Amino acid sequence: MQSTGIVLAVVFLAVLAVMHQRDRRALRAERRKLFDACFALFERHRLTQDAVAWPVLAGTYDGHEVHIAPLVDDVGFRKVPSLWLRVTVKRALPMSGTVDMLARAQNTEFYSPADGLPVRVATPHAWPGQMTIKADRPAAQLPLAVLDPHVKRFFADPRAKEMLVTQHGVRMVYQAHGAGRSEYLVLRRAVFRDARLPATLVRSLLDQAVQVCADVMKGDVHGQA
């Protein structure tokens, strides 16, 4: 009788293990579809994925090296999690400083370097409200005038979260998806069903970042907005 119970327990654990592996394979495959509609945008691309994590895309767009990484933000209390898209265009820019523009800061933006930048820059009056600007040097040494039209355009979208400009290129953070509210409230789990990135969205973010790079390259990097 005891041996029968042991056998049943072993079988039960084996079934659980099989179900767990099946669910992980399904989750990995589902998340890997995130960029399916976007591959044609790139001259070349490489998709990497660790275990069941969201995939990361690296490639070449319009002659620029780019990196696109999804980030799950579920650290906000009583806040439905977001799937942020971190879009980076790598290009050497003629500026020695770093400036970060962050919308609606909650002090939970683990993906942002803002906390590590020592200088708080006053937000130009014509820029969108609820914006925190941090830098590693005074405003007079930053390309605020060059960035002016790009900041106004990007942050006019309520899903826009962050623009970071450094000597190594431009990074933009944008809310790609919100988690299912009911599932999160009941299960406390971030579920992003059928998460896919439209090619039009990815192209728009990349084009904006590329244009920021181009204008910084040719503009007055010390101008004020």
pLDDT at 149: 95
pTM: 0.83
- Calculate mean pLDDT across residues 151-162: 96
Can you read off the two tokens belonging to residue 138? 């005074």
Residue 9 within a domain = yes
Residue 133 within a domain = yes
Residue 51 within a domain = yes
Using one digit for the tens of pLDDT, what is the confidence trace for 199-219? Answer: 999 999 999 999 999 999 987
pLDDT at 9: 67
177-206: burial string, b at 16+ Cβ within 10 Å, e else:
bebbeeebeeeeebebeebebeeebbeebb
Reduced to 3 states (helix: H, G, I; strand: E, B; else coil), residue 100 is strand
Using one digit for the tens of pLDDT, what is the confidence trace for 62-101? Answer: 999 999 999 988 765 556 788 999 999 999 999 888 999 9
Can you read off the two tokens belonging to residue 124? 């130009």
What residues make up the domain containing 107?
Answer: 2-218
Q: Listing from the earlier edge strand, what are the strands of the sheet with 160-166?
A: 44-48, 56-61, 64-73, 82-90, 169-178, 160-166, 99-103, 131-135, 119-121
Alpha helices per DSSP H over the chain: 2-32, 144-154, 181-187, 199-218
Residue 225 within a domain = no
Distance (Å, rounded) from C-alpha 52 to C-alpha 70?
13
Residue 224 within a domain = no
Distance (Å, rounded) from C-alpha 189 to C-alpha 113?
26
- Calculate mean pLDDT across residues 109-114: 94
Averaged pLDDT of the chain: 85
Number of domains in the chain: 1
